[in-house]
């Protein structure tokens, strides 16, 4: 319920992507929003107001001349009641109208009449790739951006016209994620965040390996929360089957050594690193190129182990981390004595902030409980969904980033 207590006006303009607006309306309501649909006449050619009324549970507004409004001013009433207006799909024609302040039907009239600082306008463009690439469309979008409108971008791929390219409306799930992100406080604008997540996989031979039960959910939630907060986010992910959070650059790795290389390559431009990955402490040093066969003699494979590099400890020792230009955050998955283990691990890793959690109570789960340990304080974040905890952790890190560099410098 990420949109609880939000009232949205969902505007539909003429385009085949209107068929996706039905799903979008449902998805917004599922997240707790109330949705008032407003449709242009062109939109009504693609999908009926009946469908949208049934899904939104509210009478769809289609005309500024609707006599049912007591003051006959639906454009004022609708805009004043909304927390945001989302136009999806937004046609090229509708963007052109908005860019010029045209207001000859209810939806554009309402957009123009909205109190701008209080009621943001979000657009999900949808059109043929040539229309999208046309200088007039790009010019209009630039103008709209300058006017403070939020452009949510477009997808790429097969289009209803049979062509392939940019201009498809984003999928409903993507739009919902973008709308949720829009409402989050922008605490990390200008920050570059690096997150490691998931388990690693250490090969024994081409078909077998050693891994652990980390699901990657906590790290992925942190990457999402950092992006929601306005940061540029890179996520170095071990082998997990999770969807990449919107707007996050993902680098997939398998072994601890691959994660080490990818993380060090990225760390020099990060201002915050959160090491949520459950990195294998050891790898098999004599991994076989071929599958190890059972030969019937009862002999056992002789595995030899080597220690993996400690990624977060190494980054914490870097010049940038020691000067406070990079804030390093470590994680500890323990099975007991969380506070004592987390405090000890913070010192061992040399990180200003260590986040403790109980491994068996978090691996694979959608919720978790965290213990934030710094040199001077301990903060308990009670059990909650991982995304909620990730947002609280992001807020805590933002507070540390706002403090003097010495306060966030590593201690080794």
Token pair of 117, please?
Answer: 């600082």
Q: Is 357 in the site for ligand C5P (CB under 6 A)?
A: no
**Smallest distance, ligand C5P to C-beta of residue 216, A:** 12
Q: Is 368 in the site for ligand C5P (CB under 6 A)?
A: no
Q: Is 308 in the site for ligand C5P (CB under 6 A)?
A: yes
Do 153 and 247 meet the contact criterion of CB atoms below 8 Å apart?
no
Other CB atoms within 10 Å distance of the CB of residue 329: 26
Q: List, in sequence order, every beta strand (DSSP E) within 97-145.
A: 121-125
Among 18, 312, 326, 393, which residue sits at the site for ligand C5P (rule: CB under 6 A)? 312
Q: Which is nearer to ligand C5P, 180 or 275 (CB)?
A: 275
d(CA 223, CA 115): 33
Q: Of residues 25, 90, 111, 161, which has the active-site annotation?
A: 161
Position of minimal CB gap to ligand C5P: 311
Q: x/- string (CB under 6 A) for ligand C5P, residues 275-304?
A: x-x-x-------------------------
Closest CA to 9 of 100, 79, 113: 79
- The whole-angstrom distance between residue 346's C-alpha and the CA centroid of its chain comes to 27
**List of long-range contacts for 370-376, beta carbons under 8 Å, 24+ apart:** 371/338, 371/339, 371/342, 372/396, 373/339, 373/342, 373/343, 373/346, 374/346, 374/400, 375/346, 375/411
Among positions 4-33, residues that touch ligand C5P (CB under 6 A) are: none
How many residues bind ligand C5P (CB under 6 A)? The answer is 15
Q: Is 216 in the site for ligand C5P (CB under 6 A)?
A: no
Give the H or E element holding residue 129: helix 129-133
Among 55, 82, 311, 353, which residue sits at the site for ligand C5P (rule: CB under 6 A)? 311
Q: Is 342 in the site for ligand C5P (CB under 6 A)?
A: no
**Smallest distance, ligand C5P to C-beta of residue 219, A:** 9
Residues facing residue 333 across a β-bridge: 357
**Smallest distance, ligand C5P to C-beta of residue 223, A:** 14
Q: List, in sequence order, every beta strand (DSSP E) within 277-358.
A: 282-284, 305-307, 327-334, 353-358
Residues facing residue 165 across a β-bridge: 157
Q: Is 262 in the site for ligand C5P (CB under 6 A)?
A: no
Among positions 315-334, residues that touch ligand C5P (CB under 6 A) are: 330-332
Q: Is 161 designated active site? A: yes
Q: Is 310 in the site for ligand C5P (CB under 6 A)?
A: yes
Binding site for ligand C5P (CB under 6 A): 196, 256, 275, 277, 279, 308-312, 330-332, 345, 349
**Which residues are known catalytic residues?**
161
């Amino acid at each position: 319920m990420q949109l609880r207590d939000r009232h949205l006006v969902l505007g539909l303009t003429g385009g085949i992507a209107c068929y996706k607006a039905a799903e979008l309306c449902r998805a917004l309501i599922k997240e707790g929003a109330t949705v008032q649909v407003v449709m242009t006449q062109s939109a009504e050619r693609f999908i009926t107001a009946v469908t949208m009324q049934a899904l939104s549970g509210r009478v769809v507004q289609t005309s500024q001349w609707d006599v049912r409004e007591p003051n006959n001013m639906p454009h004022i009433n609708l805009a004043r009641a909304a927390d945001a207006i989302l136009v999806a799909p937004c046609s090229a024609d509708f963007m052109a109208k908005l860019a010029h302040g045209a207001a000859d039907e209810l939806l554009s009239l309402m957009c123009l009449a909205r109190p701008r600082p209080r009621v943001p306008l979000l657009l999900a463009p949808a059109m043929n790739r040539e229309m999208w690439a046309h200088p007039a469309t790009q010019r209009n979008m630039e103008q709209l951006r300058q006017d403070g409108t939020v452009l949510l971008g477009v997808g790429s791929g097969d289009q209803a016209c049979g062509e392939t390219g940019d201009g498809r409306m984003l999928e409903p799930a993507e739009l919902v994620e973008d709308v949720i992100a829009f409402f989050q406080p922008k605490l990390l604008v200008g920050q570059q965040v690096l997150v490691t997540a998931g388990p690693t996989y250490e090969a024994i031979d081409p078909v077998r390996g050693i891994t652990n039960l980390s699901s990657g959910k906590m790290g992925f939630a942190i990457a999402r929360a950092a992006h929601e907060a306005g940061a540029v986010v890179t996520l170095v992910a071990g082998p997990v089957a999770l969807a990449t959070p919107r707007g996050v650059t993902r680098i997939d790795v398998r072994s601890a050594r691959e994660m080490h290389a990818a993380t060090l390559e990225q760390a020099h431009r990060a201002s915050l690193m959160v090491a949520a990955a459950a990195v294998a402490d050891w790898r098999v040093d004599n991994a076989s190129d071929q599958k190890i066969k059972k030969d019937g003699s009862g002999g056992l494979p002789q595995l030899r182990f080597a220690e993996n590099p400690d990624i977060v400890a190494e980054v914490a020792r870097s010049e940038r981390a020691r000067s406070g230009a990079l804030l390093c955050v470590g994680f500890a998955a323990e099975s007991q004595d969380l506070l004592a283990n987390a405090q000890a691990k913070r010192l061992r890793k040399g990180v200003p902030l260590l986040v403790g959690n109980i491994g068996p109570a978090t691996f694979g789960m959608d919720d978790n409980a965290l213990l934030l340990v710094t040199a001077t304080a301990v903060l308990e974040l009670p059990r909650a969904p991982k995304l909620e905890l990730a947002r609280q952790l992001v807020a805590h890190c933002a507070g540390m980033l706002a403090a003097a560099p010495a306060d966030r410098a590593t201690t080794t």
